[in-house]
Structure 1
Amino acid sequence: MDLAYLQKMPQAEFTQRRQRVFEQMQDNSALIVFTETEKRRNSDCDYLFRPDSYFWYLTGFIEPKSALLLVKKAGQCESTIFLRKKDPLMETWNGRRLGVELAPSTLEVNEACDIEEIQSVLAKKMANLTACYYARGVQEWGDSIVFASLDAIKAKRQKYPTTLIDWQPMLSEMRLFKSENELALLQQACHISALAHVRAMKQTRPNRYEMEIEGEIQYEFSRFGARFASYNQIVAGGDNACILHYNENDQVLQDGDLLLIDSGAEFAMYAGDITRTFPINGKFSQAQREVYEIVLEAMKEAAKLLVPKGSIHQANEKVVRVMTEGMVRLGILKGDVDKLLEEKAYKAYYMHGLGHWLGLDVHDVGDYGNERDRPLDVGMVLTLEPGLYIPKSADVPEQYKGIGIRIEDNLLITEYGNKNLTSAVPKEIDEIEALMASN
């Protein structure tokens, strides 16, 4: 594979998304979305910048300190982007800027303004409107700008938007259903993620550090055009796998332990999210096999239910039954299965949800319904990630102590059921052992 596939979302898609927003806005209203600002890491060093996902979803613009204003008035729709003006000195030090002059044609908006003028422009454009779509607290630096603009309108005794509407439900529902362009980028993010997990399996051996394997993963991401991981990577050997969000990644890998890797690539803003668990020395012990097979069976049963009109809740109910039955079989839990399910005894070893939406954010936006019972529909993408975590302190048979296992794939809901976007990395025991032995 070469880098010829590198691609980006066509600008027309962002224009179409804004048009869909206009269609949902009430007349005589404005909608305002701010992006992220640069964040300091330490001293005079900033974290590498990533735009706010909602803002990028509507603009495709990646510079910090920017905002989008949509105004619908008397049936007419107007889009304005606020951004930093050109500054040759700052661009020499910190990188190129699009600038006000080129923004309208590049971003397919009606108008562009200097971000430093946003408060006065907002006050002018929102005067005499009746409603404002704004999500307070999403980007707090924008809150003071928006409300100062409204105060400026009031001070002039002009009519101002008296109805404040949170745009998050509207935009989140749009983001939940992926377009063909989005699915192409998501598939690439998932495939790069899978290649990285395969590399990690091949490069793992006793006495390497967790962070070395993290480096192997990151190398594979970069090799195929994904500069960043989509979240802080988990590379957890042995009992560290029982810490759900472990990311110190600084311990030596021990012969005889399992390694749990939860890692995904971000490609063209879209996230992959895969977890695999495998033996550091390439061979599962009998106890590791027994626990792993329970999790894998639960995953396969759940996948049958993650189809149109199914739900995450329904699939999770199946998972907890399969895993409870399995733990009773191994003596990890004791008692009647139905009684244990009623008592939710499984929560001692399976304490998280079965999956989440996936898209621009690894935990993507969208309504799940009550208890995650929203019926699934075509175009949704979600993770499937059952797990069992048995810490060394657990009161269980000795051979199962310190075993943490999670297996995670990314599924697209289709009219035929679902499509596994991350099938390129093995999860069957025999396939994992064969891959590791082949290196």
Structure 2
Amino acid sequence: MLSKGEHQTVPLSVLLKRELASEKIERPELSHGQASQSKKGEDFTLLKTECQRVLGDGVTTYSVFGLFDGHNGSAAAIYSKENLLNNVLGAIPADLNRDEWVAALPRALVAGFVKTDKDFQERAQTSGTTVTFVIIEGWVVTVASVGDSRCVLESAEGGIHYLSADHRLDTNEEERERITSSGGEVGRLNTGGGTEIGPLRCWPGGLCLSRSIGDMDVGEFIVPVPYVKQVKLSSAGGRLILSSDGVWDAVSAEVAFDCCRGMPPDAAASQIVKEALQVKGLRDDTTCIVVDITPQEKPMPAPIPPKKQGKGVFKSMFRKKSPESSSQVEKEEFIEPDVVEELFEEGSASLAERLDSKYPVCNMFKLFMCAVCQVEIKPGEGISVHAGSKNTKKLRPWDGPFLCSSCQDKKEAMEGKRPSGDGRYSSGSD
């Protein structure tokens, strides 16, 4: 027994164990599985669970799942798998608490994707890759995507939520307009005599996607800026399916979830791939990752089969969150417990919008660091990401964040303000 005035010391290891034990109670349990059938050998996956961050007040964990569907070779997919996560983490300031770290993820994902693309293109290799990248921190799921792989969530309550965007030229009119205004050409393959076949493609290069990592031979108006969506699940959890287009070209999200209902993740991934191959056969690499997010030590309840819904209603499945409540989500009593809550969504290809100085926790980002590649910039040498913006009323060119000259060149190429690729195409726009 301690006498008056004495204090008992607790070893750091004990404090960390207590923090982890406390965290385990309030955090979900993750289980995952994957399956694939290879046609070209250009699909790659990244599965990293229980990644740890040491905070000022303890330890927190997060998990990362990535799907990279390569084309024109596997180099871009392999490079992205090996470097994208580090580039994203490198764009997040140190010493953030959990809420700040989660809020910083969307901006960091944009910087990480662009840096990965820029670094890979410097290797002068012409392959490319789609990317669907998922970071799970507690009940918050953040998804960044370029290309036509998809990430779909079925909540425990039965709702289906699309967490990625398709960047196929056939289905995305806004992306077609962006490419043509930046100096690219969009059209189908001309076989001669005026006959056109196949999907809409970007020329030069003939890529049917508007966003990817790599593809330097197509021109830099095929951009690596990802669509990002961040949601918070209810404490009942849900199931994620990440699949390449080999799956989604054959089955719908509803069919994918229905065909594996009640199965553990490994068996579920295999069943989804099997279902896709039964429909169209092995025409492309077909890869699937299934992640179950469930309450600790409780089996995942069988979701209520969702009603079929059109694309226009997916927005209504989410509860929009006001900016004022970004760090108080657990404390707000008005939020119903069984609702998937949207925290963030943005799909613009403009770096000026995606790296906007008004972005959450922007004041914690170092002023004289390039917002994309994180190299140090000497005072006076940085170029505002808003430089040359047409919307001068809202975005002032002397406002940060700032880019180094190399990343500014990359930004201008993506916007069609200078020749890119082999120099054959330039919009000549301001």
TM range (shorter): under 0.3
TM-score by length of 2: 0.24
**Greater share of residues in helix:** 1
Query: Which structure exhibits the higher relative contact order, with contacts defined as CA atoms closer than 8 Å and separated by 6 or more residues?
Result: 2
Looking at CA atoms only, which structure, 1 or 2, has the larger radius of gyration? 1
Q: Which has the higher strand share?
A: 2
